[in-house]
A = this chain, B = another copy of it.
Amino acid sequence: MSIKAKILLDEEEIPKAWYNIQADMPALPEPPLNPMTKEPVKPEDFVPIFPMGIVRQEVSTERWIPIPEEVREVYRLWRPTPLYRAKRLEEKLKTPARIYYKWEGVSPPGSHKPNTAVAQAYYNMKEGIERLATETGAGQWGSALAFGCMVFGLKCTVYMVAASYDQKPYRRIMMETWNAEVYRSPSRNTQFGKNVLGDDPNTSGSLGIAISEAVEDAATHDDAHYSIGSVLNHVILHQTVVGLEAKQAFEQIGEYPDVIYGNVGGGSNFSGACFPFVGDKLTGKRPDLKVVACEPMACPSLTKGLYLYDYGDCAGMAPILKMYTLGHTFIPPPIHAGGLRYHGDAPLLCKLVKDGWMEAVAYHQTDVFRAAKLFAEAEGHIIAPESAHEVKAVIDEALNCKEEGREEVIFFNNSGHGHFDLGAYDAFLQGKLVDYEYPVELVKQALANLPKIP
């Protein structure tokens, strides 16, 4: 009998609870601070923009948080996702390592993002909220939230960075097909947007501006809340469904990863995939587990940033978070992995890196796309540039295993397909990709703008 290409769980095995790693961390991250008062954020500070169901999760230290049956019912549309054995990649690399990946590209929006979008839409619906507002860059998160809102009958308003809105219409159309209202940001739909347009009518926008518009929209409308796609605790919590499923699948075949790789933008993809395993490391069950965050050299928060309090957003309106940061005013070079262009990282993930439980590496995008191409040749799937960061690391590790004759088990979360990123593949194939060195001067300037904490 052949080795299975995919390990599939039954729908009944979709986890019934999310895993909260805070229950097992020997030391918790320092609390987020209110950007106005610089005091620790209180649960009630979140109330104007989040439902209580989400606020409770954001501050909870309970180990297991039940997944509502209505959310599991929607997860069934694409979950459990397959755990692939990348046997053809192993053969191509002639490695003794066994490579496994979770494939989140099968969700309707095409990534892991709906794992939290669906949950957030559910809790808002339960509390009578009629509409969610959010920002999106290239559109991965916006399309996930449009999908999540649609299945629970909520309206969805997405502020999409003008440059992407103009250049990448496909994700916008996807959102509109799922009934979202998509604004080119800055828009005339918010006071903040109007101000920005007043200063510069031809601006191409930024994620920071779009966040500010979405938060203003939510805060100024009683029927609306805000929704965020990464960084915060509740988002990471929802994403642990990925790692929990992977763990069950590994159990079925009697394997356990020796090393886990994942790409980090805000941190929810990687944390969601690895935290259920990292919990075993924290509790001494798997002391030798190696866990590696992969980030772009153009935006290397974990490898080159400072562990400090900084604003979560570019505008300085979001909570101040203790994290590895390049400075909230840092605008990374325009690499194709748009989802990794964030100046900081999730506080939970940063704390675990800081305390030595996990490590980090950074790569140039040409190397990353070379890895993605090799992966497509071996396994067929054309993956998102974000995911290609860990594929680069996985290939390097598999080749090390070959050199050293090590029979290691490697795991990574393949967080999404690259169907809307083929322009970037084209640039790579034509040799036109630009590698941006670590932008040391820009980071220096941005780090000079850190908030003053009393």
Chain A residues with CB under 8 Å of chain B are: 1-2, 4-6, 8, 11-12, 73, 76-78, 88, 106-108, 110, 147, 150-151, 169-170, 173-174, 176-179, 373, 376-377, 379-382, 419-420, 422-423, 425-426, 429
Contact = CB atoms under 8 A, between A and B. Distances in A.
Given A177-B425, A373-B177, A419-B170, A8 B5 contact: no
B169 A380 contact: no
Given A380-B77, A380-B147, A425 B173 contact: yes
A178 B377 contact: yes
B12 A1 contact: yes
User: Nearest 9 pairs between A and B by C-beta?
Assistant: A108-B380, A5-B76, A173-B422, A419-B419, A170-B422, A173-B426, A77-B380, A177-B425, A108-B381
A53 to B, nearest CB: 22
Contact of A4 (B11, B88, B173): B11
A169 B377 contact: no
Contacts of A178: 376-377
Contacts of A179: 377
A5 B14 CA distance: 12
Contact of A380 (B2, B6, B8, B78): B78
Contacts of A150: 377
B151 A380 contact: yes
A213 B382 CA distance: 28
Nearest to A372: B177
Given A2-B73, A76-B6, A419-B170, A177 B11 contact: no
A380 B146 CA distance: 10
Contacts of A88: 77, 151
28 contacts: A1-B12, A4-B76, A5-B77, A8-B8, A77-B88, A78-B380, A88-B151, A106-B106, A108-B376, A108-B379, A108-B382, A110-B419, A147-B380, A150-B377, A169-B426, A170-B419, A170-B423, A173-B422, A173-B423, A173-B425, A176-B426, A177-B376, A177-B382, A177-B422, A177-B429, A178-B377, A179-B377, A419-B420
Contacts of A177: 373, 376, 382, 422, 425, 429
A437 to B, nearest CB: 27
Report the copy number of this chain in the oligomer.
Answer: 2
Given A150-B377, A381-B108, A174 B11 contact: no
A179 B451 CA distance: 50
Contacts of A419: 110, 170, 419-420
A406 B376 CA distance: 46
Nearest to A428: B177
B76 A422 contact: no
Contact of A174 (B76, B173, B176, B382): B382
A390 to B, nearest CB: 19
Interface centre among A76, A110, A147, A373 (most CB of B within 10 A): A76
Contacts of A169: 422-423, 426
Contacts of A377: 150, 178-179
A99 to B, nearest CB: 14
Nearest to A103: B106
A169 B430 CA distance: 14
Given A107-B380, A178-B377, 16 more contacts: A2-B11, A2-B76, A4-B11, A88-B151, A106-B106, A108-B379, A110-B419, A151-B380, A169-B426, A170-B419, A170-B423, A174-B422, A176-B425, A177-B425, A177-B429, A419-B419
Nearest to A420: B419
A110 B380 CA distance: 11
A190 B349 CA distance: 57
Contacts of A376: 108, 177-178
Nearest to A170: B422
A104 to B, nearest CB: 12
Contacts of A107: 380
Contacts of A426: 169, 173, 176
A77 B425 contact: no
Contacts of A173: 422-423, 425-426, 429
A214 B174 CA distance: 35
A113 to B, nearest CB: 13
